Structure 1
Amino acid sequence: MADLGFRGLDNDILDPVVVTGYIATRTHKLTRCEKEANRVLAVGRAPLEHGFAHLKNWRILTKLRTDPARATHLLRALLVLTNLEINR
């Protein structure tokens, strides 16, 4: 999933798919279905953006010097702790 400013494809040669929303212009107004598609995309993307915003606020990624596999486990644990704190 990508935001409306994204242009391009991912690096997967076998399945090059990127889900983006619809953009309205002066000459092209969005239909009701296109607006609903944008809304569904935004709902799915919001938790991810909130999680990365928390990680950026903590500045935990600026000094991370480890291999990507360990970083992935660390980020998952931090997001779980963040969600527990938010829901508390």
Structure 2
Amino acid sequence: MKKSSPAEGTVNLAHCVRLPLSSATVNCVATLIRARRKKIRSRWRALNDGRIAVIVLAHLRNDEWLADLAGGAGVSASTVRRWVLEVTGLLAARSPRLDRALAKVAWEGGCVVLLDGTLVRTRRRSGQGNRKNYSDEHKAHGPLFLALTDARGRLLWIPSARRGACGEITAARYD
């Protein structure tokens, strides 16, 4: 019986993912990245702004592993993590404040707003961060998001994520 030797070197394999995103969403995120690069005077990135936007949106939309996305793009996982944190901050900076959202509803003559929360299920974390993201109500791990909508159901405001163990009413009191 002949023993076979292991393959030498590593082979990067990439898989395709179909993202249900509009081109306007990708262009919006790419424009935010481009403006940020101009502001901080960054000369270059490993990938262009559109590819970075698609990678970040793939992580945010499908909860893809950073290492998987990084391997397909030819960059490190820490680079993809830095991109995700940067884009998340850029998107959060564009969101309106609560007082402005409520003032807009009052100016348009609305008198009813709806506040609801949901737990976004994620993979279980290990270590110290495990319990604070576990919701006993939903029996799952993940952050808790609240959303404020008008009477027609149009999204007006979303605060920052709370830990999953926090109740919806408690999160609403904090915000």
Scaled by the length of structure 2, the TM-score of the pair is: 0.20
Computing the radius of gyration from Cα coordinates, the structure with the larger value is: 2
Per the normalisation by structure 1, the TM-score is 0.32
Greater percentage in strand = 2
